[in-house]
Amino acid sequence: MGYQESWVIANPQRKFNKLLQIYDKLEKAGYYEDMFSIPPRSVIVLKQDIGDIPAGTKIFWVCGERGFINEKNIFDRTISMPPFCFVEIIPVESVFMTDVRLAPNSKYEEIAGTMRQKCELYTDGIDFGDSAAPSENAYLKRYSMSAYLSKIRSEKENER
């Protein structure tokens, strides 16, 4: 058990907006007030490949109790997922450490220091608050959930 931050990736990516619609419906219904639910906190759009995750990938960033971060606590136990949609949940530190090679006998301090440096590199300049404006750096662009929903709604309105 313990606190965990993770990335939630929809596969295939074209199903991301379906998951966003589920989130919106659940948020409006008060689902995320339940102590066992795990609300997405941000939408991240990669500007560069990170490990095996290609640029352009849209990702939900979630935070919560390690044992509760799963598809059913993020998108509700009673709702079925969109057809042919698979959700991959990856701890953030695993994502940021994909290109790091440490010696098998590395000390904890070396591993923790390297992890901290990588996290700072990828998140430098990113505002994790609930700002209406997105923040970005060379690696990613981050939106609050409310800001990303507004962006999608605006894009749909402009299509009409």
pLDDT tens digits for range 65-99:
877 888 888 888 677 777 778 889 988 877 876 66
pLDDT tens digits for range 5-14:
899 999 999 9
Q: What angle do CA 81, 84, 82 make, to 5 degrees?
A: 25
pLDDT tens digits for range 92-102:
877 876 666 66
pLDDT of residue 137 exceeding 70, the answer is: yes
- Domains in the chain: boundaries: 3-92+125-146
Question: What is the average pLDDT across 29-33?
Answer: 90
Which residues neighbour 120 within 8 Å (Cβ) at sequence distance 6 or greater?
none
pTM, 2 dp: 0.85
- In this predicted structure, what is the pLDDT of residue 53? 92
Rg of the chain taking only CA atoms, in angstroms? 16
